[in-house]
Amino acid sequence: MDIIELKRSLKEDRPAKWDHIPDIELYMDQVLNFMRKQHIGLEGDETLTASMVNNYIKKGLLPRAHRKKYKKEHVAHLTAICLFKRVLSVSDTDKLLKDQLEGQEIEGFYKKYCKEIDREFAAVSDLIHLDMDREELSDMILKLAISSYAKKLACERLLQLSNELDQSPL
């Protein structure tokens, strides 16, 4: 992937909007095929497998399928899980999803999730210039790496604080 394709992909490639996730129930192989298109960077070695889906169900991150068929709610959960697992532990992913879904249907969460992806990916795309020389490219990599670390650290600490608040007596 060259810089032009990266910038285009960050600007345009998005998970399917809620209304574009299939309304019909899907079998595992159909879900796995659909998920390959849901996020930049989740293709190739990062593809979702049936055993991963089964583990997410066992760990409570994903509702059980009904008669081996998955609904659009499962696809929405899996879309978020696939991104979160790149930056959060399984337990932190579980906590975040439970907090987000408390008092809200999966559709509302998924729409908010897609809106945040639009905002963040567009912002990163805007930072990348097609005419960057080697030094500017190196400086951009440094900036993005430090920004990623700072955001991951803040995310982990805020999740920890949220856990502590959940455990404190009322």
Which range has the worst mean pLDDT, 43-52, 75-84, 94-103? 43-52
Residue 120 lies in a domain: yes
As a whole number, mean pLDDT of residues 67-78 equals 96
Q: Does 168 score more than 90 pLDDT?
A: no
Residue 151 lies in a domain: no
Residue 62, domain extent: 3-131
pLDDT bin (cut points 50, 70, 90) of residue 114 is very high
Q: Does 165 score more than 70 pLDDT?
A: yes
Residue 69 lies in a domain: yes
Residue 164 lies in a domain: no
Task: List, for residues 116-154, the tens digit of each pLDDT value.
Answer: 999 999 999 999 999 999 999 999 999 999 999 999 999
The answer to whether the pTM exceeds 0.85 is yes
Task: List, for residues 14-64, the tens digit of each pLDDT value.
Answer: 999 999 999 999 999 999 999 988 987 666 556 789 999 999 999 999 999
User: Residue 134's pLDDT is what?
Assistant: 95
Query: Into how many domains does the chain fold?
Result: 1
User: Residue 40's pLDDT is what?
Assistant: 76
Residue 163 lies in a domain: no
Residue 126 lies in a domain: yes
Contact between residue 83 and residue 48 where contact means Cβ atoms under 8 Å apart = no
User: Residue 65's pLDDT is what?
Assistant: 94
